[in-house]
């Protein structure tokens, strides 16, 4: 049987979250809220997070409403927050907040997905 992955203490989590604006720790989970411009964009966001999570084979809990998605990460097998959670959080941020910067792609004119209030 493989050894259980090391988990971060609450103090270590707080320190590590300084690298993740908008993410916070609550009730054993690191969390992030994303706001969208409506239901179609929220569904696209859910699918984007789902794709990244399945590719990583580490799955967040999601709370979905009309214009908002809350992502919660925790490593159940390890019983806490591990490197898997932070690595997936970083990949989710890169994927869902990416916008073209110069070049041939002009980017959507819509509000689309934006970082939400930290809670």
- Is the pLDDT at 2 greater than 90, yes or no? no
- Is the pLDDT at 41 greater than 80, yes or no? yes
Residues near 52 by beta carbon (within 8 Å), at least 6 away in sequence: 88, 91, 92, 95
Residue 4 within a domain: no
Residue 74 within a domain: yes
Residue 113 in contact with residue 35, Cβ under 8 Å? yes
Tell me the pTM.
0.91
CATH number at residue 52: 3.30.1360.20
Residue 117 within a domain: no
Residue 30 within a domain: yes
- Tally: H helices and E strands in the chain: 3, 5
Say what the pLDDT of residue 119 is. Answer: 61
Say what the pLDDT of residue 115 is. Answer: 81
């Amino acid at each position: 049987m493989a050894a259980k992955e090391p988990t971060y203490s609450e103090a270590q989590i707080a320190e590590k979250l300084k690298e993740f604006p908008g993410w916070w720790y609550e009730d054993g989970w690191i969390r992030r809220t994303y706001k969208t411009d409506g239901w179609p964009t929220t569904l696209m966001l859910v699918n984007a997070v789902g794709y990244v999570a399945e590719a990583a084979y580490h799955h967040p809990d999601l709370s979905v409403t009309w214009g908002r998605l809350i992502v919660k990460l925790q490593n159940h097998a390890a019983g806490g927050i591990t490197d898997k959670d932070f690595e997936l959080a970083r990949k989710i941020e890169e994927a869902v907040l990416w916008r073209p910067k110069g070049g041939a792609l002009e980017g959507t004119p819509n509000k689309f997905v934006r970082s939400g209030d930290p809670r």
